[in-house]
């Protein structure tokens, strides 16, 4: 490496460390150790190696860097600021302050250059795997001889905590299975975690583990620029597998009294220690100091980076001219194209008159796969049961990336993080599936998808005790309430095949994550649900049976219990009871409706309000009131046929009518 470049990188590394120390100290909160220990790595990656264009940060063929160790966010913010992303110094100075662009952990969509929302450890590894998979899929679909459109690599910086979390093992195993040769995981190996040295809790042979996954592994000194140049250059030229780079660093490097200890991990160093560290590193005492030579270096680098994109744009124009059909398909993927007559198209999908929610969704998926090139899906070893397979397309494998179906294996949490990463790439609208009860494994990744509005669709089947004999371990009780509690997440539980059609419209139109909650058992198709999307599912809740005189009862139901509610209403009317029935497939959509509409459905004198749902009652009293009746699950289920379970837990017409009439 040229000596002048090496000197410049040393200065950049010092600037990264200085900005991190100052920002954490000013905020009196944060993690200075990782940014200081990885400062040289950041200088090399952002100063030399990454192929991107910060002035156009969404250029699709860019190299992407995910910081899985999100607590070290000031490392990333310092690198982004110096590189020329839209992150001014004022935002660095507002680290961890309200409404700043520099929150405690990186958030996608808030800060320019942040590729994924990270912080809960290990998930960034899965995000990076998903991005790498997506680039392989794009490369296979669109690259033509002489037109290497998609060549970008995915880098991920992870720490000891990330590799301790099981989700990184799931994702790494999957990446090795597919031999993702565009993925580079950089392990900040400093032998320190928040609670002390890793010798107290983490003594595995990480190198051997990753070799067993089918990865190549390199080891480097995290402060040796020549080693970095040699190893990363080799990876750029000859990568044939996913790669782990074990980067040996010293946490809090430069701090005279705290480097190499847990004291540098998660707390400010203190003003005196910052001053001593700056002196040891040869940095200016001035707070938030950025040398002009560093700014000039990145300005010159920016001119070279602009050439990357300019040349690519020219390549893309020539490719579009020579392959117009592929170009149209790519633009449809980028735009998440939906046919203007989607509702009519879905109504034309043929189904049996009585069909399970999962089977109805499968029939819909076969057609959506044809109409929507951006739709890619997979399951955690349950595609034959949650019915997520698009049968006309093959399965993705290490030798064939032509498929549209992804088998994630029994890796629910890993699947959720990988799907998040796939959605972050841009052109994909991914879905994934498992049983509703296993959404617990995925919950934190679903939460991050909701936080950052990732457009992911989850198909969760076996939605209640009525899945039957598998018993309480597989029968979801609290899961609807738990998912409904997540802000920005649309939880949709359709009542029949028609509502399932409309549920897919709702999920595809939403600019964020949606959950489709589908039955295992067959459901009758109700004539009353056959209303236009904008009058039914699009409202989140709507009246399916209108009363003819002042109300005695209003029945609220979702999913399979809507048909039950309709039967209850039919039984009550001969008893001189006036009944309204409301289908409430998506509470979140209903809450977004204008107040007059909401009042027309749930306002006014409604008589006795009743919720019927084979799940916990938590949340229902917002709609039925404290005096309302919740015919819901109060305990875990049993292993038995569904008819016996309905009898046992009071989900029969006779049991509900008797209970309601006792209230009169």
The residues carrying an active-site annotation are 412
Q: Alpha carbon of 490 to those of 273, 311, 369, 447, 485: distances in Å?
A: 48, 41, 22, 12, 10
Q: Alpha carbon of 86 to those of 53, 158, 293, 349, 374: distances in Å?
A: 12, 24, 19, 47, 29
Other Cβ atoms within 10 Å of 508 Cβ, number: 19
Q: Is 544 helix (H, G, I), strand (E, B) or coil?
A: strand
Count of all residues that appear for the chain in the document: 664
Q: What are residue 609's DSSP bridge partners?
A: 554
Other Cβ atoms within 10 Å of 275 Cβ, number: 15
Nearest Cα neighbor of 436 from 410, 406, 469, 459 is: 459
Backbone angles phi, psi at 113, to 5 degrees: 95, -15
Q: What are residue 517's DSSP bridge partners?
A: 460
| Dihedral sign computed on CA atoms, order 67, 70, 72, 75 | positive
Pairwise CA distance, residues 601 & 603, whole Å? 6
Other Cβ atoms within 10 Å of 640 Cβ, number: 15
Pairwise CA distance, residues 632 & 620, whole Å? 10
Question: Is residue 466 within 8 Å of residue 520, measured between CB atoms?
Answer: yes
Task: Provide the b/e sequence for 443-463 (b: ≥16 CB within 10 Å).
Answer: bbbbbbbbbbbbbbbbbbbbb
Backbone angles phi, psi at 517, to 5 degrees: -105, 115
Tokens of 294: 């560093």
Question: Is residue 494 within 8 Å of residue 486, measured between CB atoms?
Answer: no
Pairwise CA distance, residues 326 & 141, whole Å? 9
Pairwise CA distance, residues 478 & 633, whole Å? 9
Q: Is 66 helix (H, G, I), strand (E, B) or coil?
A: strand
Q: How are beta strands 243-248 and 183-189 bridged, if at all?
A: parallel
Pairwise CA distance, residues 504 & 346, whole Å? 9
Tokens of 493: 């539980």
Question: Is residue 482 within 8 Å of residue 547, measured between CB atoms?
Answer: no
Task: Provide the b/e sequence for 414-423 (b: ≥16 CB within 10 Å).
Answer: bbbbbbbbbb
Q: Alpha carbon of 227 to those of 1, 121, 166, 413: distances in Å?
A: 10, 27, 30, 35
Contacts of 4 (CB under 8 A, 6+ apart): none
**Cα 74–chain centre separation:** 23
Q: Alpha carbon of 159 to those of 120, 266, 408: distances in Å?
A: 12, 13, 24
Q: Alpha carbon of 659 to those of 466, 503, 615, 656: distances in Å?
A: 21, 32, 18, 5
Other Cβ atoms within 10 Å of 98 Cβ, number: 6
Question: Is residue 192 within 8 Å of residue 164, measured between CB atoms?
Answer: no
């Amino acid at each position: 490496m040229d000596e002048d470049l090496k000197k410049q990188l040393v200065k950049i590394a010092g600037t990264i460390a200085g900005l991190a120390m100052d920002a954490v100290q000013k905020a009196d909160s944060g993690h200075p150790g990782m940014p200081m220990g990885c400062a040289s790595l950041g200088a090399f990656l952002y100063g030399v190696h990454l192929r991107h264009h910060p002035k156009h940060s969404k250029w699709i063929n860019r190299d992407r860097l995910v910081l899985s160790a999100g607590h070290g966010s000031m490392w990333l913010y310092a690198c982004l600021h110096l590189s020329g992303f839209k992150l001014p110094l004022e935002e660095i100075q507002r680290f961890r302050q309200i409404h700043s662009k520099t929150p405690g952990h990186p958030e996608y969509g808030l800060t320019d250059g942040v590729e994924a929302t990270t912080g809960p450890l290990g998930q960034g590894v899965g995000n990076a795997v998903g991005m790498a998979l997506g680039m392989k899929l794009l490369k296979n679909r669109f690259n033509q001889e002489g037109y290497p459109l998609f060549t970008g690599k995915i880098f991920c910086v992870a720490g000891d905590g990330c590799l301790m979390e099981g989700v990184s093992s799931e994702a790494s195993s999957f990446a090795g299975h597919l031999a993702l040769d565009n993925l580079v995981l950089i392990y900040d190996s400093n032998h320190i975690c928040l609670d002390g040295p890793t010798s107290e809790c983490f003594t595995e042979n990480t190198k051997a583990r990753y070799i067993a996954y089918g990865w190549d592994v390199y080891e480097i000194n995290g402060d040796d620029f020549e080693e970095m140049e040699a190893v990363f250059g080799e990876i750029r030229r000859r990568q044939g597998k996913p790669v782990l780079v074990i980067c040996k660093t010293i946490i809090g490097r430069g701090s005279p009294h705290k480097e190499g200890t847990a004291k540098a991990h998660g707390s400010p160093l203190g003003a005196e220690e910052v001053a001593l560290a700056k002196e040891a590193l040869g940095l200016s005492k001035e707070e938030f100091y950025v040398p002009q030579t560093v700014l000039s270096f990145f300005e010159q680098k920016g001119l070279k980076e602009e050439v990357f994109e300019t040349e690519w744009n020219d390549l893309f124009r020539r490719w579009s001219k020579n392959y117009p059909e592929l170009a149209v398909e790519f633009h449809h993927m980028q735009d998440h194209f939906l046919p203007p007559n989607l509702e009519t198209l879905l109504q034309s999908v043929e189904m049996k008159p009585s069909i399970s929610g999962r089977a109805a969704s499968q029939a819909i998926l076969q057609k959506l796969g044809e109409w929507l090139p951006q739709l890619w899906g997979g399951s955690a070893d349950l595609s034959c049961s949650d019915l997520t397979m698009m049968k006309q397309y093959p399965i993705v494998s290490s030798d064939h990336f032509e498929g549209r179906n992804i088998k994630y294996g029994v890796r629910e949490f890993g699947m959720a993080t990988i799907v998040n990463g796939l959605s972050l790439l841009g052109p994909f609208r991914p879905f994934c599936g498992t049983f509703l009860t296993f959404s617990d494994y995925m919950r934190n990744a679903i939460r991050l998808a909701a936080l950052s509005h990732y457009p992911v669709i989850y198909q969760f089947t076996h939605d209640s005790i009525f899945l039957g004999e598998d018993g309480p371990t597989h029968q979801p009780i609290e899961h609807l309430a738990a998912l409904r509690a997540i802000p920005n997440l649309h939880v949709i539980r359709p009542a029949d095949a028609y509502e399932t059609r409309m549920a897919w419209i709702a999920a595809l139109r939403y600019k964020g994550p949606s959950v489709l909650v589908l039955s295992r058992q067959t459901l009758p198709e109700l004539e009353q649900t056959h209303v236009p999307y904008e009058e039914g599912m699009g409202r989140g809740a709507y009246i399916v049976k209108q009363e003819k005189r002042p109300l005695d009862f209003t029945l609220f139901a979702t999913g399979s219990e809507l048909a039950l509610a309709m039967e209850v209403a039919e039984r009550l009317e001969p008893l001189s009871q006036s009944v309204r029935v409301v289908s409430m497939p998506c509470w979140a959509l209903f809450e977004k409706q204008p107040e007059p509409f909401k009042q027309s459905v749930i306002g006014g004198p409604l008589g006795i309000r009743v919720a019927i749902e084979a799940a916990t009652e938590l949340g229902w009293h917002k709609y039925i009131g404290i005096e309302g009746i919740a015919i819901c699950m109060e305990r875990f289920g049993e292993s038995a046929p569904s008819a016996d379970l309905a009898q046992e837990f009071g989900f029969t017409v006779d049991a509900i009518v008797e209970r309601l009439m006792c209230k009169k």
